[in-house]
Structure 1
Amino acid sequence: MKYDYLIVGSGLFGSVFAHEAKKRGKTCLVIEKRNHVGGNVYCENVDGINVHKYGAHIFHTNDKKIWDYVNSFVEFNRYTNSPIANYKGELYNLPFNMNTFYQLWGVKTPEEAKQKIQEQVKKLNINKPKNLEEQAISLVGEDIYNKLIKGYTEKQWGRKATELPAFIINRLPVRFTFDNNYFNDKYQGIPIGGYNTLIDKLLEGIEIKTDIDYFKDQEKWNSLAEKVVFTGKIDEFYDYKYGKLEYRSLKFEHSRLEQENYQGNAVVNYTEREIPYTRIIEHKHFEFGKQSHTVITKEYPQEWSLGKEPYYPINNDKNKEVYNSYKAESNNEEKVIFGGRLAEYKYYDMHQVIASALSRVKKEFND
């Protein structure tokens, strides 16, 4: 059988494209390298707790169309992301807000907090920040930087803050209200029953094959369809001819604990350099679980190398140049559509991936 579309990868881009193509009467075959569908939003059910297997995924958007789109498949709960920072046993609210400033300095009014930050920034007299450290200190002063930014950022990037470019931290969210909601977006939540419910609805009635490495028999898979939708690494598609794109990777350590509540919050960041993980996720809190056990995940950032999972594109000048060479070549492909975080080499949030897929669908089907 010849399909209209072969879709390589069953993450959000591939699943949305497959769903929309099927809706328009097209036939699709989805192939997936892992042994499950859903890409990085996949959840593993551990005795009633939906474990975010590849890191915390919190859906948030200002785009009502995207919010209505995902809610047409599954109902979302009222989860609000309010992470806590643990610095050497001291707890602080994130993002930086009046609760944080009270915890740091005992200040009770926005005016006092502003004054405290301004005093610290002024004292340092940094005119042209040369690196991330100077940039961050010039925005929020030394106390916030040393306790809540420095260690976390250095772990995340695997580099000293003085070796990282200033632009990474062009602005920092500072709120002079008692608001612990991490995101400013109008809509936020987690699919009731986990993200698999969303992916399963998107891929309903579509043929799927898992445990398939597309590159092991690329010609065979391409021959099965009129067009290919490719959501993997664009440099791998072109056999790294212009060089390898760089990423940061993550390692996850999952533990089931026979206690009801480990940390009282879904996300706790560990901001000191000496603790090797950046955060601990307690998954049951994403869905307000009441189970007698819990599952936690420690998240360790690491250098990416072939064989590891690529998570965060490193969008510096060198990588942009390499990507642009691949992008130019991909623009000439008549039978291949590239989409998603890896194929577009972009740090996308979930709503942005869905928007990108819907926009590609519109273009493809002249809607």
Structure 2
Amino acid sequence: MVGPEVYEKFIKHYTEKQWGRKATELPTSIIKRLPIRFMFNNNYFNDRYQGIPIGGYNVIIDKLIKTSEVRLDTCYFDNRDYFDRIARKIVFTGKIDEFFNFKFGDLEYRSLKFETEIYPVENYQGNAVINFTDRETPFTRVYEHKHFDFGDQPHTVVTKEYPIISSRKSDPFYPVNDTKNMNNYKKYQQLAYRQSNVIFGGRLGTYRYYDMHQVIASALKTVKNEVETLAT
């Protein structure tokens, strides 16, 4: 799509660092998420509205759970029978292979490690996120959080993001949607279809590499389908 020079400089090394494997072993859908433009529009996507909500996602989440009971530091699998009994339907957004006790083996995920530092300066990098596309730099991105919401604090908080191999004990972030894993996922998907009282959602529950707008759209569509089903 872009020729060898741009591919080598911006895509190949970053992709292999992020996913821990050769770019040729990954599905093309990963890079097709990004638009190719021959102009000076440097926005990430072509969407009309881009960025994060004013005040951050916490503002939205606080409103969504305002009337709900919320339990932190609670694992569904530690008390599965109890949680299965207290609701007619469960929305499960964890790993689908874990839900079925890894019956067909582990699906592969990539995880992340974050290193956060506070600097006594107003501005560290002048941007919310900078991606490091070279092979030598061990991290993929550096975030300077105040630029997400136009903060004017006299100091700044900076986070470096390192891609790492995911294990059963680490937090999974990205499903590895190569041929091998997708074939395995289809087996779990067949089991999921038989769970009439469980809704599987999110990146982990559906084993899909969603962007934020896509996962929100998927959730809204799922709710619509559920409401229409109840109405009939």
Do the two structures share a fold, i.e. TM-score over 0.5?
yes
The structure-2 alpha-carbon separation of the partners of 1:184 and 1:170, relative to structure 1 and needing over 3 Å to count, comes to closer
Instruction: Spell out, residue by residue over 1:229-288, the C-alpha distance to the aligned partner (whole angstroms, 9 max, x if none).
Output: 211111111101011111111111111111100001111111211110011111111111
Structure 1 residue corresponding to 2:156, chosen from 268, 278, 294: 294
Counterpart for residue 193 of structure 1: 55
The code of the aligned residue for 1:232 comes to: G
Q: 2:141, 2:161 within 8 Å by CA — same for their partners in 1?
A: yes
Counterpart for residue 133 of structure 2: 271
Counterpart for residue 200 of structure 2: 338
The code of the aligned residue for 2:125 comes to: Q
Once residues 156 and 283 of structure 1 are traced to their aligned partners in structure 2, the CA distance between those partners, rounded to angstroms, is 21
Q: 2:146, 2:157 within 8 Å by CA — same for their partners in 1?
A: yes
Question: Which is greater in Rg?
Answer: 1
Cα shift at 1:175: 2.2
The structure-2 alpha-carbon separation of the partners of 1:271 and 1:334, relative to structure 1 and needing over 3 Å to count, comes to closer
Once residues 350 and 169 of structure 1 are traced to their aligned partners in structure 2, the CA distance between those partners, rounded to angstroms, is 16
Once residues 103 and 186 of structure 2 are traced to their aligned partners in structure 1, the CA distance between those partners, rounded to angstroms, is 13
Q: 2:35, 2:46 within 8 Å by CA — same for their partners in 1?
A: no
Q: Secondary structure at the match of 2:182?
A: helix
Q: Secondary structure at the match of 1:365?
A: helix
Counterpart for residue 128 of structure 1: none
Once residues 145 and 362 of structure 1 are traced to their aligned partners in structure 2, the CA distance between those partners, rounded to angstroms, is 40
Counterpart for residue 215 of structure 1: 77
More strand by share: 1
Once residues 365 and 287 of structure 1 are traced to their aligned partners in structure 2, the CA distance between those partners, rounded to angstroms, is 35
- 1:359 paired with 2:221, answer yes
Counterpart for residue 243 of structure 1: 105
The structure-2 alpha-carbon separation of the partners of 1:338 and 1:253, relative to structure 1 and needing over 3 Å to count, comes to same
Cα shift at 1:313: 0.7
Percent of aligned pairs sharing the same letter: 58
Counterpart for residue 156 of structure 1: 18
Counterpart for residue 209 of structure 2: 347
Cα root mean square deviation, aligned: 1.8
Q: Which blocks of at least 5 consecutive residues in structure 2 are unaligned?
A: none
Q: Which blocks of at least 5 consecutive residues in structure 1 are unaligned?
A: 1-138
The structure-2 alpha-carbon separation of the partners of 1:299 and 1:180, relative to structure 1 and needing over 3 Å to count, comes to same
Counting only pairs closer than 5 Å after superposition, residues 1-367 of structure 1 correspond to structure 2 as: 139-161=1-23, 163-165=24-26, 167=28, 168-169=30-31, 173-366=35-228
Q: 2:129, 2:143 within 8 Å by CA — same for their partners in 1?
A: yes
Q: How many residues align?
A: 228
The structure-2 alpha-carbon separation of the partners of 1:213 and 1:299, relative to structure 1 and needing over 3 Å to count, comes to same
**How does the TM-score come out when normalised to structure 2?**
0.91
Once residues 335 and 181 of structure 1 are traced to their aligned partners in structure 2, the CA distance between those partners, rounded to angstroms, is 41
